[in-house]
């Protein structure tokens, strides 16, 4: 489906199903926010590399639709908002609308069909790997918080994990643009798998070091 969408070029990538807090400062985006809140509360976030001007983002680049869930208006006109990523879109072109903010002509982007029977085992493997990596990392940080809940949908799983692991923006953009859930899951697996054993080993050493000899002592016999 082709439509027009207000666009917010940023040096970050938003994924479907992921929440993102934003601080709205510039007058043009204050106007965009006001228009969004008066309408369907949606705008598009497009990743803009440091060396790319906003209007030079190329046709075909994939972005994520952001829906405003909460908006806190500050006395000086700035705003703190919380958005959630919904669907993806591909930029066809920037439109000249006379608005102070960007508006783009965009088309909906979805995944190619893949057999659920092949996706489910891969998703289970990636989910289990994330639990191992996340548990070890939290132990090293002395963080007792529970790991984030992960979506059951294999198509959304890689997005949810990518949002909380260390990835550079260009890698996040490639993941967002991928139309294959299995390709995304394999990419996340490739990123996490090499680190898991080293992290777990470090976590074991860290836990032992914290005990500082105060753990259970071996019993002598005789």
pLDDT in tens, 178-191: 999 999 999 999 99
**How far, CA to CA in Å, does 155 sit from each of 119, 125, 140, 176, 177?**
9, 14, 30, 11, 13
> Residue 107: CB partners within 8 Å, gap ≥ 6?
1, 2, 89, 90, 92
Segments of the chain assigned E as strands: 2-10, 19-24, 42-47, 62-73, 79-95, 102-109
State the Cα angle at 175 between 35 and 200, rounded to 5°: 120
Rounded-to-integer distance, Cα 217 and Cα 202, Å: 22
Name the superfamily (CATH) of residues 2-109.
Answer: LON domain-like (2.30.130.40)
What is residue 51's predicted lDDT score, i.e. its pLDDT? 92
**Global pTM value:** 0.90
Helix (H, G, I), strand (E, B) or coil at 183: helix
State the Cα angle at 22 between 21 and 23, rounded to 5°: 135
**Residue 216: pLDDT band with limits 50, 70, 90:** low
Rounded-to-integer distance, Cα 151 and Cα 50, Å: 32
What is residue 211's predicted lDDT score, i.e. its pLDDT? 74
Domain with CATH 2.30.130.40 in the chain: 2-109
What does the pLDDT look like over 108-151, one tens digit per residue? 999 999 998 989 999 999 999 999 999 999 999 999 999 999 99
């Amino acid at each position: 489906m082709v439509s027009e969408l207000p666009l917010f070029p940023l040096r970050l990538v938003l994924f479907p199903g992921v929440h993102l807090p934003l601080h709205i400062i510039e007058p043009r985006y204050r106007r965009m926010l006001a228009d969004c809140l008066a309408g369907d509360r949606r705008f598009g976030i497009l990743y803009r590399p440091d060396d790319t001007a906003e209007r030079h983002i190329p046709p075909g680049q994939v972005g994520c639709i952001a829906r405003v869930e909460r908006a806190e208006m500050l006395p000086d006109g700035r705003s703190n908002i919380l958005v959630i990523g919904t669907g993806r879109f591909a930029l066809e072109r920037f439109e000249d609308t006379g608005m102070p903010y960007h508006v783009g002509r965009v088309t909906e982007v979805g995944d190619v069909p893949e057999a659920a029977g092949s996706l489910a085992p891969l998703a289970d493997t990636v989910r289990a790997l994330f639990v191992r990596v996340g548990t070890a990392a939290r132990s090293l940080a002395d963080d007792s918080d529970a790991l984030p809940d992960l979506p059951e949908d294999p198509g959304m799983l890689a997005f949810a994990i990518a949002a909380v692991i260390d990835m550079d923006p260009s890698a996040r953009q490639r993941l967002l643009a991928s139309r294959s859930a299995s390709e995304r899951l394999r990419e996340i697996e490739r990123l996490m798998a090499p680190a898991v054993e080293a992290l777990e080993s470090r976590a074991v050493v860290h836990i032992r070091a914290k005990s500082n000899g105060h753990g259970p002592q071996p019993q002598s016999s005789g």
